[in-house]
């Protein structure tokens, strides 16, 4: 009898062990399935969005050597394109933000390039008919028209302006911006000052923003970051609002619920985003910076003023505006060489 009980007890233990084993295996399969789902969807979306910059040795001319993403400091130009009024053809760069990331210091900076900054375009870049002075946001349009490359010309003009290498770029159009925010379930932002802006998706009817925390949907978020003509822009500038939005979006994007929206987000990215980053490079960035505190992002400002030149209003950087911004960006990219270090080297040689 005792032997029978022992055998029954062992059989029960065996069944329990098998159930536990099956449960563990099921959990592993589920997690592997989610991992494969995330990778394949993300990979396919990035593959559909990939467009390189056709550079020699796959690097900026301002780099001596190509960088390794995830290991070396790098810069990324974020380009927000308005192409809804042209049916997706020959749009214009409404927003240009330079982001620098330094894995050695875990520091991230954001620099908004004023869209009205005056630059020169050559005949090769913009065709003979349009060569000359233009606002920097027009580089995207003329680069597309001339065949030079919309993203390529935009990147090169920002490099010329700031004197730093732009290693990669990410371009998103307004539709993609709106749809990604909606897919994330909205973005919560603490609005500093109340204002209003036109809703381009609703016959330019006003969207009113009240001061205080607010959860913005895609249309509202787009209006929030685009506003630049209201009087409140002087006390609540556009670059500050854009920084707030990026910080809030980073926090929202890494939330637990986002994993279940990856398919929807991937479809949006594939249709509305262009980037020079490969899938493996994006995964390397995500791994390196997923733990970064969005509130620690430093903002660098290009000082200057709006001035009328030949009947056209441009943003003209202050005398030291570009130089100061460039020095700060070079520092975070590890490209600066302090004079003290140079003097030390020279004195050593002299001796």
155 in a structural domain: yes
- SS3 label, residue 106: coil
Q: How many domains does the chain divide into?
A: 1
C-alpha–C-alpha distance, residues 140 and 91, integer Å = 7
146 in a structural domain: yes
Angle at 217 (CA atoms; ends 174, 222), nearest 5 degrees? 30
Q: What is the pLDDT of residues 220-260, one digit of tens each?
A: 999 999 888 777 777 898 878 888 888 788 777 766 466 56
> Residue 282's pLDDT is what?
78
Q: Tell me 234's DSSP state.
A: G
CB 316 within 8 A of CB 307: yes
> Residue 314's pLDDT is what?
95
Which residues of the chain are under the pLDDT cut of 70?
Answer: 1-43, 45-46, 84-90, 254-263, 288-295, 337-351
pTM: 0.79
> Residue 269's pLDDT is what?
76
22 in a structural domain: no
80 strand-pairing partners: 95, 172
> Residue 134's pLDDT is what?
95
269 in a structural domain: yes
Two structure tokens written together for 53: 């910059």
Query: Closest by alpha carbon to 176, among 82, 273, 53?
Result: 273
C-alpha–C-alpha distance, residues 263 and 247, integer Å = 23
> Residue 128's pLDDT is what?
92
Residue identified by tokens 């970064």 is 292
Here the CATH number for the domain that contains residue 80 is 3.40.630.190
345 in a structural domain: no
Residue 131: which domain range? Answer: 50-336
């Amino acid at each position: 009898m005792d032997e029978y009980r022992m055998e029954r007890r062992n059989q029960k233990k065996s069944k329990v062990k098998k159930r536990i084993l099956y449960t563990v295996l099921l959990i592993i399969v589920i997690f592997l399935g989610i991992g494969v789902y995330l990778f394949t969807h993300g990979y396919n979306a990035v593959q559909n969005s990939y467009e390189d910059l056709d550079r020699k040795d796959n690097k900026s001319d301002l780099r001596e050597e190509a960088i390794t993403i995830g290991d070396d400091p790098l810069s990324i130009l974020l380009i927000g394109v308005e192409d809804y009024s042209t049916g997706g053809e020959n749009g214009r760069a409404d927003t240009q933000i330079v982001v620098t990331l330094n894995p050695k210091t875990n520091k991230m900076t954001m620099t908004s390039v004023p869209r009205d900054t005056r630059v020169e375009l050559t005949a090769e870049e913009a065709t003979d008919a349009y060569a000359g002075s233009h606002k920097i946001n027009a580089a995207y349009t003329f680069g597309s028209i001339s065949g030079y490359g919309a993203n390529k010309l935009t990147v090169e003009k920002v490099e010329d302006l700031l004197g730093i290498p732009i290693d990669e770029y990410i371009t998103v159009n307004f539709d993609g911006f709106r749809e990604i925010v909606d897919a994330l379930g909205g973005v919560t932002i603490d609005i500093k000052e109340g204002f209003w802006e036109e809703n381009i998706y609703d016959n330019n009817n006003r969207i009113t923003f009240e001061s205080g925390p607010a959860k913005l949907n895609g249309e509202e978020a787009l209006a929030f970051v685009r506003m630049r003509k209201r009087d409140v822009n002087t006390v609540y500038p556009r670059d500050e609002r854009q920084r707030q939005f990026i910080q809030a979006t980073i926090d929202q994007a890494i939330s637990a619920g986002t994993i279940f929206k990856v398919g929807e987000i991937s479809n949006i990215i594939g249709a509305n985003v262009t980037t020079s980053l490969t899938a493996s490079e994006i995964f390397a960035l995500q791994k390196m910076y997923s733990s970064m505190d969005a509130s620690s992002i430093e903002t660098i400002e290009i000082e200057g003023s709006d001035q009328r030149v030949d009947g056209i209003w441009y943003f003209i950087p202050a005398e030291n505006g570009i130089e100061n911004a460039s020095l700060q960006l070079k520092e975070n990219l590890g490209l600066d060489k302090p004079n003290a270090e140079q003097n030390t080297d020279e004195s050593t040689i002299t001796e």
